[in-house]
Amino acid sequence: GFKMGIVGLPNVGKSTLFNALTRTAAAQAANFPFCTIEPNVGEVNVPDARLDALARIASSKQIIPTRMTFVDIAGLVKGASKGEGLGNQFLANIRETDAIAHVLRCFEDGDVTHVDGRVDPVADAETIETELMLADLESIEKRRAGLVRKLKGNDKEAQQQDRLLADAQAAIEDGRPARTVDVDAEDRRAWKLLQLLTSKPVLYVCNVSEEEAATGNAHSEAVAAMAAAQGNAHVLISARIEEEISQLDAEESEMFLSEMGLEEPGLDRLIRAGYALLHLETYFTVGPKEARAWTIREGTSAPQAAGVIHGDFEKGFIRAETIAFDDFVACKGEAGAKEAGKMRAEGKAYIVKDGDVLHFLFNT
Ligand code: GDP
């Protein structure tokens, strides 16, 4: 599955947000009760209204949303790269994630101490990015030193690694995170395997007060400008509101949201933003037994998409009967879509599109 690490300075609202994410009614849906893998790891359902629509049309007995993993990575302070705070353990936790949700304190509250004594989310973002860049630099230098012998032996893989590490090092020494490096298509795999902390995509989460959840404030606007300049994403959230919503049932939370001037829980937006950030897409399998959503990366072929369900589906792939979501809805289901000629038989080369309703045929 896909994993998003929640980072931020102490007291910015990370735990509040993480608890809301993992305790929410959606996370506890009947099919997959929220499971605590570790105290700081939670799996949440990815909200998708399309799945509900498909299940209604097909009278599916069960609805099984796709899932995303969040990891609460506490302990990032100034000096983390030097082993202060939780230091290395913390950095190892980030290394294993696919993307970073960086929570920034955008709320004023004299009762909640700020580690640097002032509310300045842009400066906080720089503090954390600097720690991550220092940690990357250290690991780059170590790894390049470890490659010297292989380079003498003309090892092609080592040459590629060293070249990519050198590119990252040059960027960081120039004050830029590794994600600003232009990586050629043929180097992408090796680049990803380097697991550099600052190469991961970042989503800034502006934690604002309850009153400012709908409008934002000067702090969150400063973050939005910074994110735009960096090419990163941002979302506006009130961790406190999310905490309250997570304790309400669906009807109560809808009323509460509308009182706050909000259309949907911030968590839904957060999860969707994470999806977009990771270039993830969803396809569906729909039948009377269940309607289910599956996660794939953009550009996934039909056999690979089948492999997400089961390895055998990929190995024995014959073809995928495919109906676009809109056609499925317009034709009121599979039979109607078939009749209207909207069901296509797609082969191995087909690139699955977001929203496709698929039925795989395969050899066993
Ligand atoms: P963490 O250290 O980043 O995990 O931060 P916590 O989630 O533990 O929050 C630190 C403190 O800030 C707690 O007392 C929270 O109740 C409080 N807090 C979190 N979000 C908000 C907010 O939007 N407004 C206010 N006033 N306090 C908040």
Domain with CATH 3.10.20.30 in the chain: 299-362
Q: Probe ligand 1: pick from 9, 16, 215, max atoms within 8 Å of CB?
A: 16
Using CA positions, which residue lies closest to atom 7 of ligand 1? 13
Give the pLDDT confidence score for residue 31 in this predicted structure. Answer: 41
Domain with CATH 3.40.50.300 in the chain: 3-277
Reading the chain (364 residues) residue by residue, the pLDDT tens digits are 789 999 998 889 988 898 888 776 544 543 443 444 455 788 888 889 999 999 999 999 999 999 888 888 876 666 666 655 545 667 778 888 999 999 999 998 888 877 778 899 999 999 999 989 998 999 999 999 999 999 999 899 999 999 999 999 999 999 999 999 999 999 999 999 999 999 999 999 999 999 999 999 999 999 999 999 988 999 999 999 999 988 888 889 889 999 888 888 888 889 889 898 899 999 999 999 999 999 999 999 999 999 999 999 999 999 999 999 999 999 999 999 999 999 999 999 999 999 999 999 999 8
Using CA positions, which residue lies closest to atom 23 of ligand 1? 209
Residue type, 122: V
Give the pLDDT confidence score for residue 19 in this predicted structure. Answer: 86
As annotated, the binding site for ATP includes 11-16
Contacts 24+ apart (CB under 8 A), 156-163: 157/190, 160/187, 160/190, 161/190, 161/194
Using CA positions, which residue lies closest to atom 20 of ligand 1? 13
Residues 6+ apart with CB under 8 A from 61: 288, 289, 290
Q: Which CATH number fits domain 299-362: 3.40.50.150, 3.40.50.720, 3.30.420.40, 3.10.20.30?
A: 3.10.20.30
DSSP count for the chain of H helices, then E strands: 14, 13
Give the pLDDT confidence score for residue 24 in this predicted structure. Answer: 62
* CB 128 within 8 Å of CB 7: yes
Give the pLDDT confidence score for residue 266 in this predicted structure. Answer: 87
Partners of 36 in the β-ladder: 42
Question: What is the reported pTM?
Answer: 0.86
| Three-state helix/strand/coil letters over 163-197 | HHHHHHHHHHHCCCCHHHCCCCHHHHHHHHHCCCH
d(C-alpha 138, C-alpha 130), whole Å: 12
| Atom number, ligand 1, closest to the C-alpha of residue 16 | 7
Give the pLDDT confidence score for residue 84 in this predicted structure. Answer: 56
**3-277 — its CATH code?**
3.40.50.300
Query: Which of 357, 296, 291 is closest to 321 using CA atoms?
Result: 357
CA of 16 to the centre of ligand 1 (A): 6
Using CA positions, which residue lies closest to atom 15 of ligand 1? 13
| Atom number, ligand 1, closest to the C-alpha of residue 103 | 3
Q: Structure tokens of 97?
A: 């994630």
Residues near ligand 1 with C-beta < 6 Å? 8, 10-16, 107, 109, 112, 207, 209, 238-240
